[in-house]
Structure 1
């Protein structure tokens, strides 16, 4: 156990830092639209198809993918793979797909790789009746030709059958790119969408409360400081958690046993400007 974790346990009785991104998935608050989207993605595993998650940075796209990854892996016989380098050109993209699905590919024979991957997926469907799942974060970075190739890879029997479930996650540039003429065939095949935006103050408070309860100390933050942190974060979960994490670090450093409004204003209050007259006199 690290020194910081020991301090968290000793000072606050926490099982983990509730404000870090690597908390267990059960500690992640699931808003209603995310829960509905998860259900729809689970259904896509039966039929195949494309799902998309879009939104500005800091609103939970990667968190949603993490939950999907863990939830689908918990289902029997579901194969879930994740693209780590979405910006790759076609040769490297095929290499990565081959590694992910255990298919030896020769880059010099792209057609052979195309057929080998599809054969692997068809075989998986025949034995399990479930589609393999491919998760792609930062999908706005993908090249147009790669996205088009992915659409063709996933379609079978004159596009009447889908042999892969794809979840694309990206910022608002992904939504704009899917409006491009070259990518309209892909956009038309997106079967379910999740658009993440700013949360209401009430949802932000629920998220923070859920994080504190899951970590083992609901009283870590006073009601007043929760209100202050939520107002400071302007609907962004990422900003809220970063703010709370900074306050927790300061509480550890000063050995406080609770995060309160006083600590918040000591940390974030803007220093008052010196009066012009006083400043002028000090220069004389």
Structure 2
């Protein structure tokens, strides 16, 4: 038997040797998960002796992380905008950059939202959690992703205000919304080979359009006006080099007030446009 501190040191060395970035932070999160303690309280348990079950579980998690399986998939959770969301290999991990989209959406008035390609539901369900009187619809082509979103909606207590539909973008939708948001696949096929190994564990269709990275924006910009109420908002997460191209699409489609908002690193991240009044 060894202490948690010793196991942590060995795991850090193992992950570092495997080239895993942030090895210590990942090791701590995995150890806390294996021990069944809150990550913020792990320090209080570092001198505890690990029982056989916890040690075996931890070593197995470290081995998978060394193989570049994301920590979120190993523990089944990912934090987003102050809430924990279930994630797995069927959904895109919500990332801090996407919180910029939530902030932008909460800056304007709306009561009915549509999230295209909702995945885990992180964007839509966060918005509904922040706007207690609002309702929303999330669409996705993946039934497995929608199952994850449904479980997240139940845990967050917003299932009665969230409709989840299997649909390819606007397919099957006839109503209009005050707000349409989306974080569509925007990585060009030519860029996929250069991505971090962890991304190979996320659904490829949520990452790339297998083309130039702009296919989804063409579809959404062309179709959203038919599903927005007068003066409704369209907000799209983009890759940091795509701001000019997506803004031009929005202008050409007839939106007004088209702007591009930066993320926390100052890079173009959200295109904001408004339907005519």
TM-score range, shorter chain: 0.3 to 0.5
Bigger fraction of residues in helix: 1
Could you tell me the TM-score, scaled by structure 2's length?
0.34
Could you tell me the TM-score, scaled by structure 1's length?
0.33
Bigger fraction of residues in strand: 2
